[in-house]
Amino acid sequence: MEDALKRHGGRRAHKENGVTWYDAAVGERIAVRVSSLDTNGAYAVVESIADPGCGVPLHLHQNEEEHFVVIAGIYRFACENKLFDATAGTSVTIPKGARHAWRNLSGSTGRLLAVFTPGGFERLIQEVIDIPAGKVEEVAARYGCLIVGPPIEA
């Protein structure tokens, strides 16, 4: 059973089986599995569940590397000028400062784990639920995440 916790600007946070899920990109929800508060800031782990065709805007992280593990589905990744597809079991590391994006190419729900080193970025995921949609880029920039382009094509 699903309990809605908050709703703002079309986004929501809700609990499902004891886990809090946060709406992120359209068609994506994210759960913080390990907070940087529990690792003395060393890292954070989040899980992403993405609908078919869901993709995130081209962006970069000024403060952390992002390490992905594809759990289910087929994802297209862009990292700087490279474009490649990754299936379940594939790991991808995005260096700090590299422009990147992903899209779920699957005809079904995709799942990713993302490890941020150092941690801290996961707090943006939790904070963004409380702000108007038009302020997301401004708040993201405070966490060192800059949106630099649209999502990649399928």
Residue with tokens 């929800």: 29
pLDDT of residue 103: 98
Residues in the chain: 154
pLDDT of residue 11: 61
- Report how many domains make up the chain: 1
pLDDT of residue 60: 98
Domain ranges, residue 109: 2-151
User: Which parts of the chain register pLDDT below 70?
Assistant: 1-11
CATH number for 121: 2.60.120.10
80-98 residue pLDDT tens: 999 999 999 999 999 999 9
pLDDT of residue 99: 98
pLDDT of residue 7: 45
